[in-house]
């Protein structure tokens, strides 16, 4: 449990394992300063090994998810200060290198303006849900630089080529609905339903075996630019890693999932995880069969008189 209070970020750890990390500079539309990055690097590092955190949701306070880098504090005030600039740059990697292969599932919940450098942590989170009316914009072309960091590469990987070129070169805005159509977010919902729908996704993920979920999301990330042979070796290693991590909690996902499906018919994998996937309380350890496994009893046909 994190007890420290931060100046630019709020951390709310729920009892169900969901931790909310809220960018808390609403007066600056949650623009990212060197202090903000230092706090986020510390928070994300601590949460990665925190036993009370199973999943992280990133969002913004007020009307913005994030307005990108704070032009005054991140750029102008670090000019001519190479050590300060280098530290700010290193700390800002929480949103790219750290988030990209994070050990726990992450969701970016885009509640409002998502501008420039904020694309990085929106995209690098494992999943993203936006409000229909959220506003996205790559405004860098309008003030004389390339899209922040690796954003040019990120949008090229995610968007259709024409869309990536259009929005990066014009600086035009697009909505949450349009972001969903282009693949920047998984889906968008009316703003009044944003928190509820994000929590629905979070709780669905928390029902999975955490070791399998971790390995799966790493596999999706890492194999994107691998050859077939390299990917096969990596995936075999990840499969072995799951067994080792599960063994540490006295569990075997592969054997348990098949046993419950074939022998007990305790769940239906198209509709739910096996019993005990998340907490280890399998059917042999008191766990109850999933409701999805229930079969309707056939009512005998009435005999004709």
**Which among 170, 186, 206 is the end of a domain?**
206
Query: Is the predicted pLDDT of residue 296 greater than 60, yes or no?
Result: no
From the number of C-beta atoms within 10 Å of its C-beta (0-12, 13-18, 19+), residue 296 rates as exposed
In a domain, 242, yes or no: yes
pLDDT tens for residues 145-200? 999 889 999 999 999 999 999 999 999 999 999 999 999 999 999 999 999 999 99
C-alpha to C-alpha distance for 67 and 73, rounded to whole angstroms: 13
C-beta separation of 7 from 30 below 8 A: no
Q: Does 298 fall in a domain?
A: no
Statement to judge: residues 121 and 136 lie in one domain: yes
Q: Tens digit of pLDDT for each residue in 190-201?
A: 999 999 999 999
DSSP 229: H
225 lies in the same domain as 132: no
Same-domain status, 131 and 242: no
How far apart CA 5 and CA 10 sit, in angstroms, is: 7
Instruction: Determine the structural domain holding residue 221 and report its residue range.
Output: 210-293
pLDDT tops 50 at residue 244: yes
Q: Are strands 113-115 and 135-137 parallel, antiparallel or unpaired?
A: parallel
pTM confidence score = 0.94
Question: Are residues 179 and 244 part of one domain?
Answer: no
Q: Is 32 helix (H, G, I), strand (E, B) or coil?
A: strand
Are 34 and 155 in the same domain? yes
* Burial class for 272, CB neighbours closer than 10 Å (0-12, 13-18, 19+): middle
- Pairing label, strands 173-175, 135-137: antiparallel
From 147, 177, 206, the end of a domain falls on 206
Q: How many domains does the chain have?
A: 2
> Looking at residue 52, which CATH number applies to its domain?
3.90.226.10
52 and 163, same domain (yes or no): yes
DSSP character at residue 143: T
Q: Please check whether residues 231 and 201 belong to one and the same domain.
A: no
Domain C-terminal end among 206, 221, 245: 206
- Integer Cα distance of 157 and 148 in angstroms: 15
115 and 25 belong to one structural domain:
yes
With beta carbons less than 8 A apart as the criterion, state whether 53 and 21 touch. no
Are 75 and 111 found together in one domain? Answer: yes
**CA distance linking residue 26 with residue 130, whole number of Å:** 18
Residue 76, pLDDT above cutoff 70: yes
Per the prediction, the chain carries an average pLDDT of: 95
CA 64, CA 167: separation in Å to the nearest integer? 20
């Amino acid at each position: 449990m994190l007890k420290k209070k931060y100046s630019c970020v709020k951390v709310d750890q729920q009892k169900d394992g969901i931790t909310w990390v809220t960018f808390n500079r609403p007066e600056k539309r949650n623009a990212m300063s060197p202090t903000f990055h230092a706090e986020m690097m510390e928070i994300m590092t601590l949460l990665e090994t925190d036993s009370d955190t199973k999943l992280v949701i990133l969002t913004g306070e007020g009307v913005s998810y994030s307005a990108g880098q704070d032009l005054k504090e991140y750029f102008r005030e670090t000019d001519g200060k190479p050590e300060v600039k280098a530290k700010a740059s290193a700390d800002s990697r929480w949103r790219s290198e750290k988030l990209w292969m994070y050990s726990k599932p992450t969701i970016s919940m885009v509640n409002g303006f998502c501008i420039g450098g904020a694309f990085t942590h929106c995209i690098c989170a494992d999943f993203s849900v936006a409000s229909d009316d959220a506003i996205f914009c790559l405004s860098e072309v309008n003030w004389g630089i390339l899209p922040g960091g690796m954003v040019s590469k990120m949008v090229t990987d995610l968007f259709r080529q024409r869309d990536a070129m259009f929005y990066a070169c014009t600086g035009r805005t697009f909505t949450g609905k349009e972001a969903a159509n282009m693949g920047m977010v998984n889906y968008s919902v009316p703003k009044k339903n944003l928190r509820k729908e994000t929590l629905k996704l979070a709780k669905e993920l928390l029902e999975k075996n955490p070791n399998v979920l971790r390995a799966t999301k790493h596999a999706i990330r890492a194999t994107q630019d691998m050859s077939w042979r390299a990917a096969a070796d990596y995936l075999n290693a990840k499969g072995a890693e799951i067994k080792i991590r599960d063994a540490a909690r006295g569990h075997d996902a592969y054997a348990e999932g098949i046993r419950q499906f074939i022998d007990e018919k305790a769940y239906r994998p198209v509709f739910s995880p096996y019993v005990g996937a998340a907490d280890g309380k399998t059917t042999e350890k008191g766990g109850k069969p999933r409701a999805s496994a229930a079969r309707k009893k056939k009512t005998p046909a009435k005999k004709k008189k």
